[in-house]
Amino acid sequence: MILAPSILAADFGVLAEQIKRAEDAGASWLHIDVMDGQFVPNISFGIPVLKSIRKYTDMFFDVHLMIKSPQRYINDFIDAGADGITFHIEAVSNPFECIDIIRKRGKNVGISLKPETPVAAVEPYLDKIDMVLIMSVEPGYGGQEYMESVNEKIRKLRQMTGEDFHIEVDGGIDADNIKTATCAGADVIVAGTAVFNDDIEGSIRELLGK
Ligand code: DX5
Ligand code: ZN
């Protein structure tokens, strides 16, 4: 299982330091939530922040674009240091356009689904991508409650993809419910508020079951 702490919940005043702590404690991916105030009702941060933190860590930068028409900015995020780009199926009219841009740059391709979007929506693209991100909260904010209804979506998707494919779950994960997501078939787990608190190291150990 890959743990991907979401920096949305970090203290941005000491961001590089908190990322380093998460990395040293055993997290291998860093989840980077980009919000535009259009696709979701919140604004987070963007390209300059990515570029800054890239200097401080070799973690895999897992960029979750919650923005309208993401094709406009994919190359900029890759230039800034993204290792994988995940865009929302609900935010694009032609998913193949985004897939092609990301592939051309040799980066991991992910497609994300909001809680109400069925897994059938990504079926036509599964053989062209590396990962599906299943949102277990409405995108836009950290600190919400995990929606149990997504477990069935995870199971269904895992049946469709087989083992050699990433299924990432994002939203409301903590040490108590992480097993429901992994047992359903998820192998990449995002956690924001459950990681970036007073005890980053202890929280990561607990989530990783160590
Ligand atoms: C929500 C973001 C999530 C969020 C997770 O729109 O995509 O990554 O930061 O935060 P927690 O773990 O606090 O639900
Ligand atoms: Zn996210």
DSSP output for 42-104:
-B---HHHHHHHHTT--SEEEEEEESSSGGGTHHHHHHHT-SEEEEEGGG-S-HHHHHHHHHH
- Per the rule left: phi > 0, alpha: psi between -120 and 50, beta: everything else, 99 is alpha
Q: What is the pLDDT of residue 210?
A: 79
Average pLDDT of the segment spanning 102-123: 98
Average pLDDT of the residues of the chain: 98
What are the tens digits of pLDDT across the range 25-69?
999 999 999 999 999 999 999 999 999 999 999 999 999 999 999
Whether residue 94 contacts residue 63, with contact meaning beta carbons closer than 8 Å, is answered with: no
Distance between CA atoms of 12 and 108, rounded to whole angstroms? Answer: 26
Best residue among 29, 137, 169 to mutate for probing ligand 1's pocket (most ligand atoms within 8 Å of CB) is 137
From the number of C-beta atoms within 10 Å of its C-beta (0-12, 13-18, 19+), residue 111 rates as buried
pTM, two decimals, is 0.98
200 lines ligand 1 (CB under 6 A): no
Q: What is the pLDDT of residue 92?
A: 98
Whether residue 132 contacts residue 111, with contact meaning beta carbons closer than 8 Å, is answered with: yes
Distance 128 CA to ligand 2 centre (A): 21
Average pLDDT of the segment spanning 159-185: 98
Percent pLDDT > 90 in the chain is 100
Q: 93: helix, coil or strand?
A: coil
- Would you say residue 77 has pLDDT above 90? yes
- The closest-lying atom of ligand 1 relative to the alpha carbon of residue 140 is 6
Whether residue 115 contacts residue 138, with contact meaning beta carbons closer than 8 Å, is answered with: yes
Distance 51 CA to ligand 2 centre (A): 18
- Would you say residue 149 has pLDDT above 90? yes
- Would you say residue 190 has pLDDT above 90? yes
42 lines ligand 1 (CB under 6 A): no
State the ligand closest to the CA atom of 7. 1
- Would you say residue 156 has pLDDT above 90? yes
Distance 152 CA to ligand 1 centre (A): 20
Extract the tokens encoding 89. Answer: 């199926």
Please name the residue that has the structure tokens 């993809």.
161
- Amino acid at the residue 154: I
- The closest-lying atom of ligand 1 relative to the alpha carbon of residue 40 is 6
Distance between CA atoms of 17 and 23, rounded to whole angstroms? Answer: 10
Distance 159 CA to ligand 2 centre (A): 23
Whether residue 97 contacts residue 119, with contact meaning beta carbons closer than 8 Å, is answered with: no
- Would you say residue 146 has pLDDT above 90? yes
Q: 126: helix, coil or strand?
A: helix
The residues carrying an active-site annotation are 33, 170
